Amino acid sequence: MRQDLGPVLPPWNGSTLVRNTLYCNGNAITQQLVVLSIYVVVGAAPVTLSTYGRLLWWRSTKRRPPISAEEEGGMAAVPPA
């Protein structure tokens, strides 16, 4: 059972990827790249989903008020006296 679990864990795949890249000229690295890519996607999905909701909340409450007629005419650019 433990022998079957090792090839799907990131440390085993990371070390095998480095070993095959250095000593075997990059041969037989497809499985390692696929497994590590799956871990990246699965790990990034909850972070992205949780952040997306916060960004929408922040964007909706921090809206700038509409531009007034004085601002459109350039009056806001004149420094106060």
pLDDT tens-digit readout, 59-80: 555 566 677 766 666 655 556 6
- Angle of CA points 17, 39, 48, to nearest 5°: 140
Residue 4 has a pLDDT of: 81
pLDDT tens across 11-64, in order?
A: 888 999 999 999 999 898 998 999 999 999 999 998 888 777 666 655 555 566
C-alpha–C-alpha distance, residues 76 and 5, integer Å: 66
pTM: 0.58
